[in-house]
Structure 1
């Protein structure tokens, strides 16, 4: 399960010895506390609170600063991010610096990646503890490098992390979902996602490694063929898909989409796995409900279906 979470995060770290820079930050009038996180930042000019993720966005340029808290020790995350891993994700490492920010060891990486026919520049600041890791990603078009690179980097390095802050993880999403009719329980939120498994802790020690994730996309897309998109989307998980067993139209909470069951293998140990996915389309965004299991397939598929059907969007106040 640890490998699964590492594979879900883009590799940005090459292991080398670096000189450390010390940064001491305190909360100022310009700092904004990012809802649903323990992070405060000073956003760049013209960046506003993001509508679909924890962080900030600049609508005119499509740039973003996103915060993701990962339930894995920072040293483990750092070791998992290798130069080779970066290359397999189609990314080019440009810069790497090590900092001490308010006593926290942090890594700042700059890379480039091709996506949707464009070249994007990306800064990632990573730090954490033995219990969790925090990734702050600043992404913008390479064409806007001169306008945004310095400002985005400055924002990332303005971070103030309040380890003692109490967060209600369910406040980080705009939907409700329950596992009460199953034996799965809530684990943690990771960015705009809610994680559930049988033990309520990560990594999972259950023999079937059953996990269910509910999330919302944060990038707006124009999707003409929704069925094909859903079938392609299930292939983007850290599981090699051998075959799609069924694709069924579904409507939940007045949102239309597709329910897909597939068979595959884990990429690291080649363990037989069944995957469940529901995508519900809402304008140019979508919600994704994803479950996977390495055993007890019939029981877990039934549980995933039950959980998915409890999905309901929150009423905006």
Structure 2
């Protein structure tokens, strides 16, 4: 759950990194609105006019405006996932402010719609965030747009969020639409839960790992495009941004080349934030023009030698996909011809 909550806050901040153009009029609806399943999730919604599926996260975007919708599915009780959004002090630490909240009903089930403001990189953004779920699982659907485009996009994005439908019984290919692959090795298995375009690997394929003594490997990509001017410095700073690890030691980034992409590999030590136990942190960052990929391995310090080689092997198995994995076509029963 710690990892999941860290990703929630990270995505809400990263959403503010998209390009934007002021004075852009929202595209007009060209055809009757219809529910569309968000690739890689059990969630469907009616995308706003002009919004297209993102190649970098599970959701939709209109890149010219900086407006986007991100869908995030989490294992864990909704009360725990959303607790921070009712805490002004915690929001303030993330440069966010709660403007309002309301209870809504979606497909007969209660949900909460949060209205938030956030300042990032000198620009003020507004957000609608829909939270629905139960004691076992949570869905967050977050819409983000620059405040200067509030009149054009606030209502249309809010309406899109309120069209959300969540089919918990649906079977989804976990890496559907993810534009890269990593080979599970050393007894690790791909978890049947992902966070945006981040894949998770644990011993039993269950997230979260039960203790810091159990290995965790994650592989993901940036959710917004940005030009990294100093990749080595960025890689070292990225290590210190790891939410679950504190007291991180010496960081010495070494150059690597994987799948034709240059990047940096780092091995360092720290302490698990929750337990204070020593952990080894392994990280590889790879850079592809305005997109970067991050892979991290975490393991309790006493078992580092058991899994460091596995983490290295998995990172070096990274490959970009020319064609992302798609959901298998639905097999329909054939009609029997009667004579």
TM-score calculated relative to the size of structure 2: 0.83
> In the TM superposition, what is the alpha-carbon distance from 1:291 to its structure 2 partner?
1.3
The answer for the alignment partner of 2:317 in structure 1 is 310
- C-alpha change, 1:252 and 1:11, in structure 2 (3 Å) is closer
Question: What is the match of residue 190 of structure 2?
Answer: 186
Q: Does 1:151 align with 2:150?
A: no
Tell me if structure 1 keeps the 8 A contact 2:50–2:62. yes
The CA deviation at 1:156 is 0.4
For the Cα contact (< 8 Å) 1:11–1:85, is it kept in 2?
A: no
Q: 1:168 to 1:11 in 2, by over 3 A?
A: closer
SS at match of 1:109: strand
| Partner residue in 1 for 2:305 | 298
Write out per-residue CA displacement over residues 78-106 of structure 1, whole angstroms, 9 at most, x where no aligned residue.
34554132222221111111222113321
**Cα separation, partners in 2 of 1:294 and 1:192, compared to 1, 3 Å:** same
SS in 2 for 1:9: helix
Whole-Å separation in 2 of the counterparts to 1:29 and 1:156: 13
Confirm or deny: 8 A CA contact 1:11 1:86 kept in the other structure.
no
Matching residue of 1:113: 118
| Aligned match of 1:15 | none
Verify the 8 A CA contact 1:235 1:241 in the aligned structure 2: no
1:130: which partner in 2? 135
Q: 1:236 is matched with which residue?
A: 241
From the two aligned structures, give the one with the greater strand fraction: 1
Q: What whole-Å deviation, never above 9, does each CA across 1:223-250 have from its counterpart, x for those lacking one? A: 1111111111121121224223431101
Quote the RMSD (CA, aligned, Å).
2.1
Partner Cα distance (1:99, 1:263) in 2: 45
Q: Secondary structure at the match of 2:142?
A: strand
Answering whether residue 261 of structure 2 is matched by residue 259 of structure 1, we say: no
Name structure 1 gaps, 5 residues minimum.
Answer: 13-27
Distance 1:225 1:178 in 2: 29
Tell me, in whole angstroms, the C-alpha distance in 2 between the residues paired with 1:249 and 1:57. 33
CA offsets, 1:271-294, max 9 Å, x none?
322211111111101111111122
Aligned residues: 300
Q: In 1, Cα distance between the equivalents of 2:277 and 2:117?
A: 33
Counterparts of 1:4 and 1:138, CA distance in 2: 22
- Which moves more between the two structures, 74-83 or 162-171? 74-83
Q: Residues 207 and 272 (structure 1 numbering): CA distance in 2 closer, same or farther, change over 3 Å?
A: closer
Q: Distance in 1 between matches of 2:280 and 2:62?
A: 39
Indicate the residue corresponding to 1:42 in structure 2.
46
Question: Tell me, what secondary structure is at the counterpart of 2:307?
Answer: helix
Check conservation: 1:96, 1:110, Cα contact below 8 A: yes
Distance of 2:251 and 2:111 partners within structure 1: 44
Residue 262 of structure 1 and its aligned partner are, at CA, apart by: 2.2
Of stretches 132-141 and 84-93 in structure 1, the one that deviates more from structure 2 is 84-93
* Residue 223 of structure 1: aligned partner: 228
